[in-house]
Structure formats: C-alpha cells, structure tokens
Amino acid sequence: MRLGQLLNAWGKVRRAGASGSPEPATQAMRGPKPAAGSTGSTLKERYLSAIDVFRDLPPAELERLARTTTMLTCARGRTVYRAGDVSETLFLLKKGRIQIVRETVDGKRLVTAVLGAETFFGEMALIGERFPRDSTAEALDDAIICAMSRRDVEQLMLSHPRVALRFLERVGARLAETEAMVEEFAFRPVAARLAGVLLRLAGDDPGDGEPVLIEASHQELADMVATYRETVTVTLHEFRKRGLVELGRRSIKLLDRRGLEAQAEAEA
C-alpha cells in the first residue's frame, strides 16, 4: 500500500465511522489521521530536525522533506499499522510513544519495542518489493507522526550517506536489543525480566535520586515480558514488599533502582 492509498483508506474509515458506535481502539480502522494544520512546513521542519538521523541535514533538505512528508495524529490505543499490511511507508515519531507488537493467531501478544519521540519505526517495510509488515504498531499515547514514502527515503539516503549510516546504526541497535530480549526469555525468570523492563521504560538514571514514575498497566507489562497479567501483578506486589516500587493506578514508581538492577541480573 503506497502512502496516498494509506491516507485515503484512513479518510474513508473516519467518514464511515462518524455516525455509528465507536469501534475498539486497537482496530486498524482507528488509525492515524492528518494533523490539523499539517500543511505548515515550518512546524514539520522543526519536527524533522529533532529526529536524530536527520541532525546533519541542511535547511534546504529539511524544507524539501517537510513538503513531501505528511503529518498525522494518532490517538492513544489506535493502531498505526497491522501485521500483514503491505506498505512502503516509513513513520517518523515526533510526539508520544509507539509499541511494536507481535501477536499469535490465538491472541497471545509480545511487545518487542516501546519507542519514544524523535525516532522512526516501520523500517522493515522498506526491505524488498512489497515486503509485508510482520508486526503491529500501536499508540501508547496521543502521537504525532510524519509519514515518509519509500521513494523519498531512498532519495534521501542516496543524497546524504550519513543519514543512511545513521539508519543502519539504529536498525543494528534494535537488532541487538531484540537478541538481548531473546536471551532474557531463554535464561531469566519472570521477576528478572520484569525488573529489566521497568528499568528500560524508566530510561537513563538522572542521578538526582528522585523516584521515576512509569505509566503502564499490568497487562501492558505482561505483554512486554511474555507472561500472564496475574503473574505480573503477583511479582509487582513482591517488589513492593521489598521496597523496590510503589504501585498506583496504571503506574509504577521506581523507588530502588539498584535493587531492581540486581533483580534484573538474577538467574533464579
């Protein structure tokens, strides 16, 4: 599906659902829509320049990209694309978080990545001719996304090799993260995997000693560590009793980062 067809499909879906009952938020039909005011090139230039792989692009190239990309909004819980979709679109995430999910035919889910702002996703669709997507992308927050066609991506990489190298570096880093995840699933118990996920979601230690708040449900965490929600709930309560975390409604406050780091390294 090319970029124009993709946007067309989203537009038709919004009109069809305008007068009826809302569909489940995770359905692909509830996908992104063009952002209000998305024709403003200056705003898109600021968004594009903030993305790491584009940091060396000259202003003229950023202006050209702003003209050729389409800015979209995607509400929390909506699906950007589904596994099996055939697409030639790269997505640039300016605001919000996107989770990449693999799902079995019987409904089991595994979150393979949670991506924050100022990065890209959907890059595997650019490999080969009409390569189908092998995962689903869902918005964890209200997100602002720029959609970039395969043709524009290829032209940009040919004109600016540094951009191509940064894409390769980022894709390589994601592959390494996936390999580390496979190793965790093979050798680490659930408590260690959960502690590792909490630390990754918290990001780098700011060094100020302040607790870090993570907004995630028990089911979302279960999808990230490949276990049942009930197992995550029991494990989090054990963490709470040990003073590692404080539990809230759809939130976890990290109280003892070093304790969680030790737990993440535990093999039994």
- 166 lies in the same domain as 242: no
Confirm if 32 and 89 have CB atoms less than 8 A apart. Answer: no
Q: What is the CATH number of the domain that holds 176?
A: 2.60.120.10
Which residue among 135, 155, 181 closes a domain? 181
- 42 lies in the same domain as 138: yes
Q: What pLDDT, on a 0 to 100 scale, did the predictor assign at position 109? A: 87
- Tokens 């640039």 sit on residue: 92
- 173 lies in the same domain as 243: no
Count CB-CB contacts under 10 A for residue 170: 15
- 166 lies in the same domain as 206: no
- 62 lies in the same domain as 141: yes
Q: What is the rounded CA–CA span in Å between residue 96 and residue 165?
A: 25
Q: What is the rounded CA–CA span in Å between residue 36 and residue 43?
A: 11
Q: What pLDDT, on a 0 to 100 scale, did the predictor assign at position 130? A: 52
Domain span including residue 150: 3-181
- 60 lies in the same domain as 17: yes
Nearest alpha-carbon partner for 72 in 17, 113, 31, 30: 31
Q: What is the CATH number of the domain that holds 204?
A: 1.10.10.10
Count CB-CB contacts under 10 A for residue 56: 10
Which residue among 166, 181, 196 closes a domain? 181
Q: What pLDDT, on a 0 to 100 scale, did the predictor assign at position 2? A: 46
- 229 lies in the same domain as 155: no
Which residue among 157, 181, 205 closes a domain? 181
- 76 lies in the same domain as 174: yes
Q: What pLDDT, on a 0 to 100 scale, did the predictor assign at position 35? A: 60
Q: What is the rounded CA–CA span in Å between residue 233 and residue 198?
A: 14
- Tokens 């693999």 sit on residue: 102
The tokens describing 158, both together, are 């040919």
Classify residue 125 by its DSSP letter.
Answer: G
- 92 lies in the same domain as 114: yes
Q: What is the rounded CA–CA span in Å between residue 221 and residue 218?
A: 5
- 78 lies in the same domain as 170: yes
pLDDT along the chain (268 residues), means of 10: 42 33 36 54 76 84 86 91 86 92 84 89 72 82 90 89 89 87 85 93 74 90 91 96 93 93 83
Confirm if 254 and 198 have CB atoms less than 8 A apart. Answer: yes
Q: How many structural domains does the chain have?
A: 2
Q: What is the pTM of this model?
A: 0.70
- 8 lies in the same domain as 114: yes
- 152 lies in the same domain as 216: no
